[in-house]
C-alpha cells in the first residue's frame, strides 16, 4: 500500500489530488457538535497542501437519498476545516457539476477545496457496478491522483471509496495508515491480557466481532443496550429494556463458547433503570432506580450499568495489556446515565494497557465527558470499519488501496 510519502517522492506539486476524507460529523442545524473526524484528517490535507498539491477533499455526511438535501450539506465541515488549517478553503456546491469543475479549475498550488456531499449523487452508494462506475469516472476527471484517508468509510463499497482508486494512481493517507497499524496490534501483535469492552444498542451489530474475538480475547465485558439480550438469554427479566429476542439463541451459543474457550464473558451485575427514557435536550433529572441485573422490574428499562458493575469492570481492566472498547455502557448523553461509560473510559486510563477507543459513540463519549483524547493509545475515526476489520472481513476501501 503506497503512502503519501511515496507520492511526495514522486512529486505532487501542481497536481490535483483527490482526498477521500471522512467529514461525517454530527450536526445540530449547521453547528458541528463534534469535530473529531475533521481534526483527524486535517494533517493529511495540510501535508499535501504544503507539498504544493491542489487538494480536492470529498466526503459523505449522513444518509441523504441520492439527491441534494440542505440538511446534509458539507458547508459547515468545509468552514471548520479551513479554521483548523488556518487558511481559506473553497467550497463547491455540487460534486461533479459546474461548481465542482469551476472550483477545481481555480485552485492554485497548495490550495484546498471541499466538494459537496458525495451522497447527493445516487451513483456514490449504488449497488449497480455500472452506475457506481459511471460516477467514479466523473470524479476521476477532477483529479490526477487519489488519496484514501476516510477510514470511517473503507468498509463501504462506494464509488469514491472502492471504484475511484482503480481509476487513478493512489495511496493511503496518514490517518488510514495509522488506523491499520493500530488494528494490527489488536489482531496480530496483541499484548495480554487482551480485554474487549462492547456496548451500544444492538447485539446484532456486534455478533461478527464477538464471534471472532472469542478466539482472541481473554475477557469480554458487555454493557449498553446489547447487554439485556445476554441477560435475557440467561433467563433474567429485562423489563422494557432493549431486547432482540431473535438473537437469544446466538447469545447462548457465545456464552457456551466463551466457557469452552476459557474466555471471561462478563455481564452487568447491577443496572440503573427507569420507566421513562431521559430527555436528552433539557438534561432534566431522571431519578433512576438502582436494581440488580437479574431483578429488573417488568415496567422499567435499563439505561446504564450500576456502581457494582463499574467497580467490576474497572477491576477487569486494571491488569490488561491491550484493551479495545466499542460502544457506550448506557445513555451517556444524559448525566444521570453517563457514569458507566465514564467509568470504562477511566478504567482504560488507569491501566497500563495499549488502549483503543473504537470510534463512533465511544469516541464521541470520550470527548463529551471531558477526557483528554491524547491520553488514550488511539481513538479510531471509524467504529463500523474497526469492527469489520476485527471480524476478519476484507474492507473494500483498503483492498482498493492495496492494488
Of 121, 147, 177, the domain-final residue: 177
How many alpha carbons lie under 13 Å from residue 178 in its C-beta half-sphere?
17
Say how many domains are in the chain.
Answer: 2
Give the model's pLDDT for residue 390.
Answer: 87
**CATH code of residue 95:** 3.40.50.1260
What pLDDT band is residue 349 in, cutting at 50, 70 and 90? Answer: very high
119 is in an annotated binding site: yes
Q: Is residue 11 part of a domain?
A: yes
Q: How far apart are CA 277 and CA 303, in angstroms?
A: 8
For the beta carbon of residue 5, count every other beta carbon within 10 angstroms. Answer: 12
Q: What is the pLDDT of residue 223?
A: 97
Q: Is 88 annotated as ligand-binding?
A: no
Q: Is 362 annotated as a binding residue?
A: yes
- Are 45 and 141 in a shared domain? yes
Whether the per-residue pLDDT at 147 is higher than 90: the answer is yes
* Active-site entry in 2, 39, 167, 202: 202
| 159 plus 197 within the same structural domain | no
The response to whether 63 counts as a known ligand-binding position is yes
- Is 51 annotated as belonging to a binding site? no
Asked if residue 14 belongs to a known ligand binding site, the reply is no
Give residue 206's pLDDT. Answer: 87
Q: Which residues contact 19 (CB under 8 A, 6 or more apart)?
A: 41, 44, 45, 48, 55, 56, 57, 58, 147, 149, 173
**Are both 252 and 139 inside the same structural domain?**
no
**Domain end position, chosen among 177, 201, 219:** 177
In a domain, 84, yes or no: yes
Residue 374 Rama label (left phi>0; alpha psi -120 to 50; beta): alpha
Q: What is the pLDDT of residues 118-140, one digit of tens each?
A: 999 999 999 999 999 999 999 99
* Same domain, yes or no: 356 and 385: yes
**228 in the same domain as 115:** no
Looking at the structure, do residues 164 and 44 belong to the same domain, yes or no? Answer: yes
Q: Tell me whether residue 360 is one of the annotated catalytic residues.
A: yes
The closest of 374, 299, 310 to 344, measured between CA atoms, is 310
Q: Same domain, yes or no, for 238 and 164?
A: no
Residues 128 and 172 in one domain: yes
| d(C-alpha 133, C-alpha 124), whole Å | 9
Task: Clarify whether residues 284 and 361 are in a common domain.
Answer: yes
pLDDT at 312: 98
Separation CA 353–CA 350 (nearest Å) = 9
State percent of the chain over pLDDT 90: 83
Inside any domain, residue 182: no
Q: Is the pLDDT of residue 368 over 80?
A: yes
Q: Is 214 helix (H, G, I), strand (E, B) or coil?
A: coil
Region 200-214 average pLDDT: 88
Identify whether 402 is part of a domain. Answer: no
What is the distance between the alpha carbons of residues 197 and 258, in angstroms, rounded to a whole number? 15
Question: Which residue in 16, 37, 80, 310 is the catalytic one?
Answer: 37
Please tell me whether 22 is known to bind a ligand. Answer: yes
Domain span at residue 161?
Answer: 4-177
Q: Read off the pLDDT band of 288 (50, 70, 90).
A: very high
* Beta-bridge mates of residue 113: 56, 90
Confirm whether 50 is domain-assigned: yes
Q: Does residue 232 sit in the same domain as residue 260? A: yes
Cα 270 versus chain centre, distance = 28
Q: How confident is the model at residue 184 (pLDDT cuts 50, 70, 90)?
A: confident
Q: Has residue 299 got a pLDDT over 80?
A: yes
Do residues 173 and 263 both lie within one domain? no
333 appears as a binding residue in the annotation: yes
Instruction: Please check whether residues 220 and 163 belong to one and the same domain.
Output: no
Annotated catalytic residue within 199, 360, 382, 383: 360
**Residue 165: which pLDDT band, with cuts at 50, 70 and 90?**
very high
- 396 within domain boundaries: no
208 appears as a binding residue in the annotation: no
**pLDDT of 189 over the 80 cut:** no
The reply to whether 400 falls in a domain is no
* pLDDT for 351 beyond 80: yes
Residue 201, domain member (yes or no): yes
Choosing from 177, 201, 222, the residue where a domain stops is 177
Decide if 323 contacts 344 (C-beta within 8 A): no
Q: Any binding-site annotation on 330?
A: no
User: Which of the four pLDDT bands, split at 50, 70 and 90, describes residue 397?
Assistant: very high
- Annotated ligand binding at 27? The verdict is no
Mean of the per-residue pLDDT values of the chain: 95
Strand pairing partners for 147? 19, 171
Catalytic residue list contains 384? yes
216: annotated active-site residue: no
Above pLDDT 70, what percent of the chain?
100
**Per-residue pLDDT, 168:** 97
Length of the chain: 403
* pLDDT for res 358: 85
Catalytic residue among 123, 239, 306, 384: 384
Q: Is 150 a catalytic residue?
A: no
Confidence band for 330, pLDDT divided at 50, 70 and 90: very high
Amino acid at each position: 500500500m503506497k503512502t503519501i510519502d511515496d507520492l511526495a517522492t514522486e512529486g505532487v506539486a501542481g497536481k490535483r489530488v483527490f482526498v477521500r476524507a471522512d467529514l461525517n460529523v454530527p450536526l445540530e442545524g449547521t453547528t458541528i457538535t463534534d469535530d473529531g473526524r475533521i481534526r483527524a484528517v486535517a494533517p493529511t490535507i495540510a501535508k499535501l497542501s504544503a507539498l504544493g498539491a491542489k487538494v480536492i477533499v470529498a466526503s459523505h455526511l449522513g444518509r441523504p437519498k441520492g439527491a441534494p438535501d440542505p440538511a446534509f450539506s458539507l458547508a459547515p465541515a468545509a468552514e471548520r476545516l479551513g479554521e483548523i488549517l488556518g487558511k481559506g478553503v473553497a467550497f463547491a456546491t455540487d460534486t461533479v457539476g459546474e461548481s465542482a469543475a469551476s472550483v477545481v479549475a481555480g485552485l492554485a498550488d497548495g490550495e484546498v477545496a471541499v466538494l459537496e456531499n458525495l451522497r447527493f449523487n445516487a451513483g456514490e452508494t449504488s449497488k449497480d457496478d455500472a452506475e457506481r462506475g459511471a460516477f467514479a469516472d466523473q470524479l476521476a476527471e477532477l483529479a490526477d491522483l487519489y488519496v484514501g484517508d476516510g477510514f470511517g468509510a473503507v468498509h463501504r463499497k462506494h464509488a469514491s471509496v472502492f471504484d475511484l482508486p482503480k481509476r487513478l494512481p493512489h495511496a493511503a493517507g496518514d490517518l488510514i495508515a495509522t488506523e491499520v497499524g493500530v488494528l494490527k496490534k489488536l489482531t496480530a501483535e496483541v499484548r495480554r491480557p487482551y480485554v474487549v469492552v462492547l456496548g451500544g444498542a444492538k447485539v446484532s451489530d456486534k455478533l461478527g466481532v464477538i464471534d471472532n474475538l472469542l478466539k482472541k480475547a481473554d475477557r469480554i465485558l458487555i454493557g449498553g443496550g446489547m447487554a439485556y439480550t445476554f441477560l435475557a438469554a440467561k433467563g433474567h427479566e429485562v423489563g422494557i429494556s432493549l431486547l432482540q429476542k431473535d438473537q437469544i439463541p446466538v447469545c447462548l451459543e457465545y456464552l457456551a463458547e466463551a466457557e469452552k474457550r476459557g474466555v471471561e464473558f462478563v455481564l452487568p451485575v447491577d443496572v440503573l433503570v427507569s420507566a421513562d427514557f431521559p430527555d436528552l435536550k433539557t438534561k432534566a433529572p431522571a431519578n433512576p432506580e438502582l436494581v440488580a441485573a437479574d431483578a429488573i422490574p417488568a415496567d422499567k428499562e435499563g439505561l446504564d450499568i450500576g456502581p457494582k458493575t463499574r467497580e467490576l469492570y474497572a477491576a477487569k481492566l486494571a491488569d490488561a495489556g491491550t484493551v479495545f472498547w466499542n460502544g457506550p455502557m448506557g445513555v451517556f448523553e444524559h448525566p444521570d446515565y453517563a457514569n458507566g461509560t465514564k467509568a470504562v473510559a477511566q478504567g482504560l486510563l488507569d491501566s497500563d494497557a495499549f488502549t483503543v477507543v473504537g470510534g463512533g459513540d465511544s469516541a464521541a463519549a470520550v470527548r463529551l465527558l471531558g477526557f483528554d483524547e491524547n491520553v488514550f493509545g488511539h481513538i479510531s475515526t471509524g467504529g463500523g470499519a474497526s469492527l469489520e476489520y476485527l471480524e476478519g472481513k476484507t474492507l473494500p476501501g483498503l483492498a482498493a488501496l492495496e492494488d
